[in-house]
A and B are shown apart, each in its own frame.
Chain A
Amino acid sequence: MSSILIQQKTHQLRAQKRQRVFACFVAPGLAVFSYVFCLKLYPPLQQAVHYLFVFSFAWSAAGAYFLKRGLSSGELPEAAGLSTGLEFCRGEIKRQLSYLRRALLWSFGPILLAIGTLVLVLATRFPLFPVGIPFLTVVVVWIAAYVFIRARQQRDLERELDELSEVEKANSI
């Protein structure tokens, strides 16, 4: 393996990791953006709205920390050669499943709260019906699609874990 290729691969892995870390900060960014947008548009916000935005930001910032902590560096564990294919697949699937669950709680949750608060603020200024219907429809469809896709991925991964357990059982027969 040439040293150039090693350097290239190392840079590539670092860049991938940076991208994934950056993605963790989408939710806090969106919370801040919604807050600033509302402040610019309607400065005299209700006290409760301030609290909701601040909570949404704090929640997503904590989420960014927890999501970042569980990110894989893209490198195999040091003792990868000691674990069998079965153990490795199980570990990878569990890691993905845990990430999906954490993403729902720590990323999607605060985003929903920020968007909900934004809609609430808009609703106090504009009549949502019928002007806001297209916007609301897009938001609802997006939420439904996101939840549906994530739930399907979770089910797939759980089924896969069950299959691996069956394989392990068959091993002991």
Chain B
Amino acid sequence: MESIPTERTSPGELYTAAIEQWGGALERLAAAYEADREKRRDLSQDIHFQLWRSFHHYDGRCSLRTWTYRVAHHVAASHVIREKRVFSALVSLEEIEALPDEGKGQIGVEQNLTLTKLAILIQQLKPLDRQVIVCWLEGIDAESTGEITGLSPGNVAVRVNRIKNILARRFRQGGSYAG
């Protein structure tokens, strides 16, 4: 996407450039990984701190965006693994497809319901699937998502499609209840 000449750019400048461009995305990323407000603030600070540290080692081998997203996702994945302790608390795409919709009885504004459902769904996913869906929601293409996550673009597309199908199915179910 963009390439910043690293030899003449200080870590502080790289950090500032990254935050100017993707600061909002990093906040949304933290929200996708942590539901609790206090913990989310801590996670967000951790992401910023580790990102700031990481730019001392940035050598331009990947784009600034890829680096920023990778570091942020790594911090958030570490947080999930640490907080959940056991992976049994998280579900894979196969499991989530088979889960009943927990938000069926909720009544509220449709948009809020949609966002809530989306947040609940994302926060149940395992770190790798979260990375994929967060990148997709940020409008990052499959190839760049592949660079960040390590999945092939085909694998990314398959996962995004499955998540979209789960969401569509849940929202249809939710719609009939709201209506």
- Tell which of B52, B66, B71, B81 touches A6, judged by Cβ atoms closer than 8 Å: B52
Q: How far is the CA of A9 from the CA of B77 in the complex (A)?
A: 18
Contact size class for A?
A: 20 to 34
Q: Are B77 and A89 in contact (CB under 8 A)?
A: yes
Residues of A within 8 A of B162 (CB): none
Q: Are A79 and B149 in contact (CB under 8 A)?
A: no
Judged by a CB distance under 8 angstroms, whether A164 is at the interface is: yes
- Tell which of B49, B58, B66 touches A1, judged by Cβ atoms closer than 8 Å: B49
Residues of B within 8 A of A152 (CB): 86, 88
- Tell which of B46, B62, B78, B152 touches A9, judged by Cβ atoms closer than 8 Å: B46
Question: Nearest chain-A residue to B81 (Cβ)?
Answer: A92
Judged by a CB distance under 8 angstroms, whether A5 is at the interface is: yes
Evaluate whether A9 and B45 lie within 8 angstroms (CB atoms) in the complex, with A76-B71, A88-B77, A167-B155 already known: yes
What total of A-B pairs shows CB separation below 8 Å?
104
Mask, A85-116, CB within 8 Å of B = 1, is 11111001100100000000000000000000
Judged by a CB distance under 8 angstroms, whether B8 is at the interface is: no
Q: Are B86 and A81 in contact (CB under 8 A)?
A: no
Q: How far is the CA of A173 from the CA of B81 in the complex (A)?
A: 28
Q: Are A81 and B128 in contact (CB under 8 A)?
A: no
Chain A interface residues (CB < 8 Å from chain B): 1, 5-6, 9, 75-76, 78-89, 92-93, 96, 152-153, 156-157, 159-160, 163-164, 167, 170-173
Q: Are A157 and B87 in contact (CB under 8 A)?
A: yes
16 residue pairs bridging A and B, Cβ less than 8 Å apart: A1-B49, A1-B52, A6-B49, A9-B46, A75-B53, A76-B54, A76-B71, A80-B70, A81-B68, A81-B71, A85-B73, A85-B77, A88-B74, A153-B85, A156-B86, A167-B128
Residues of B within 8 A of A170 (CB): 152, 155
